[in-house]
Amino acid sequence: MEKNIVVLPGDGIGQEIMDASIQVLTKVAEKFNHKFNFEQYEIGGTSYEKDGEPLTDETVNACLKADAILLGAIGGPKWDSLPPHLRPEQGLLKIRKALNLYANIRPIKGFEPLLHASPLKESVIKGSDIYIVRELTGGLYFGTPRERREDGNVAVDTLLYHRNEIERIVEKGFESARIRNKHLTSVDKANVLESSRLWREIVEEKRKDYPDVKVDHMLVDSAAMKLITDPTSFDVIVTENLFGDILSDEGSVLTGSIGMLPSASLSETIGLYEPVHGSAPDIAGKGIANPLGMILSSAMMLRYSFDLNEEATAIEKAVEESLEQGIHTADLKIHHGKEVGTKEMTETVISNL
């Protein structure tokens, strides 16, 4: 199979982890007889430096034509004082909106060899397998007005959802639960927020179409607690944009490091695959970033966009095997095995493919 993949390394550790992922995919192509063509474009601070804006039409158009997109990470202190519309983060939000990537899938499943790498007790996290379905193109991130008033002393953000935006993500949640363990937890703040009350109403309507799926509603504060006290009680979590952002970073603790978590951002027609973590400015350029979240994101690409299940599983198995051999980057706080940099971690995965 031949596929055209747009790669957007972005900022900070973005380039380092993207290189890792391209090497792994190149090996997969060789082994399984595919042809992956990689075309690189800019996003974030890197795009701002080159073209004066965090996302250009050129990048958007390339993405629209691609078979799939890989994104590293964006952002960094260098660009934190730019006006809001020029910040790297705006590039990421804009590409999500431009491609209508409304469903952000963030699986959280610990690898067996890393169960003891979590600050949580192994007995608490053993067996946890959570699948966060996060709404990605609505809510507080996009609602207007968003502005400063009264000489900058008043700030407004708007949490706005249209019925159809909630319906499609809730359906995604139900569909996901149906092919997993048939348990959907809808997370909201319906005791306070009007948007959450509409969300809950829609979940109640939709559940009639999925009688085989058990549904719970949970308030987000309580969900944040449950996620680390009783993670095995979850299967699929469906939630709005900001809650999903926060809960997924929290959930990464189960896996031992934020550097482990992959994600898929999906529209009806295309997928963009990005690790959950950011550009990690504190370690950028040091060659020590964990490439596994990015590598596992490329496995998700193979599975979701290209239907290459065997190839995706091969990557996941190679990652697991590498961890079994004790090879790991410094973000994983384990005291045995061998601590390595990005390059050696990647080479180990490739050698296990």
Nearer CB in complex with ligand NAD: 13/227: 13
Q: Which of 55, 169, 266, 283 binds ligand NAD (CB under 6 A)?
A: 283
- Annotated binding-site residue? 77: yes
Per partner kind, with CB cut-offs from 5 to 8 A, the member of ligand IPM, Mn ion, ligand NAD, none near residue 259 is ligand NAD
14 Cβ neighbours under 8 A, 6+ residues apart: 8, 44, 46, 71, 72, 73, 74, 279
- Annotated binding-site residue? 285: yes
- Region for 115 from its dihedrals, namely left if φ exceeds 0, alpha if ψ lies in -120 to 50, beta otherwise: alpha
Shortest separation between residue 276's beta carbon and ligand IPM, angstroms: 6
Shortest separation between residue 191's beta carbon and ligand NAD, angstroms: 28
Q: Which two tokens stand for residue 69?
A: 């997109």
Q: Which two tokens stand for residue 162?
A: 């249209």
42 touches ligand NAD (CB under 6 A): no
Q: Which of 142, 278, 306, 314 binds ligand NAD (CB under 6 A)?
A: 278
Q: Residue 334, SS3?
A: coil
70 Cβ neighbours under 8 A, 6+ residues apart: 5, 6, 7, 8, 18, 21, 272, 273, 274, 294, 297, 298, 301
279 touches ligand NAD (CB under 6 A): yes
Block residue for tokens 């699929």: 236
Q: Which residues are catalytic?
A: 141, 189, 221, 245, 249
Residue 80: Cβ within 10 Å count: 12
As beta bridge partners, residue 339 has: 328
Taking a C-beta distance cutoff of 8 angstroms, is the pair 215, 184 a contact? yes
Per partner kind, with CB cut-offs from 5 to 8 A, the member of ligand NAD, ligand IPM, Mn ion, none near residue 279 is ligand NAD
- Region for 118 from its dihedrals, namely left if φ exceeds 0, alpha if ψ lies in -120 to 50, beta otherwise: beta
Tell me which residues in 236-265 interact with Mn ion (CB under 5 A). Answer: 245
Nearer CB in complex with ligand NAD: 75/231: 75
Q: Could you list the beta-strand ranges (E) of the chain.
A: 2-10, 35-40, 68-73, 103-109, 129-135, 143-149, 154-158, 183-188, 214-219, 236-239, 264-266, 271-273, 327-328, 338-339
- Annotated binding-site residue? 81: yes
Shortest separation between residue 89's beta carbon and ligand NAD, angstroms: 5
190, 214, 71, 182: which is closest to 136 by C-alpha? Answer: 71
Tell me which residues in 72-91 interact with ligand NAD (CB under 6 A). Answer: 73-76, 89
Q: Which of 78, 197, 267, 281 binds ligand NAD (CB under 6 A)?
A: 281
- Annotated binding-site residue? 34: no
Residues near ligand IPM (CB under 6 A) are 75, 89, 92-93, 245, 276, 278
- Annotated binding-site residue? 177: no
Integer Cα distance of 220 and 248 in angstroms = 12
- The residue sitting closest to ligand IPM, measured at its beta carbon, is 89
Binding mask 106-135 for ligand NAD (x = CB under 6 A): ------------------------------
Taking the chain, what is the end-to-end CA distance rounded to the nearest angstrom? 19
* Interface segment toward ligand NAD; rule CB under 6 A; list 48-56, 71-79, 150-158, 172-180: 71-79
Binding residues for substrate: 96, 106, 134, 221
Binding residues: 76-89, 96, 106, 134, 221, 245, 249, 278-290
Binding residues for Mg(2+): 221, 245, 249
The contact set with ligand NAD (CB under 6 A) reads 13, 73-76, 89, 92, 258-259, 274, 277-283, 289-290, 293, 331
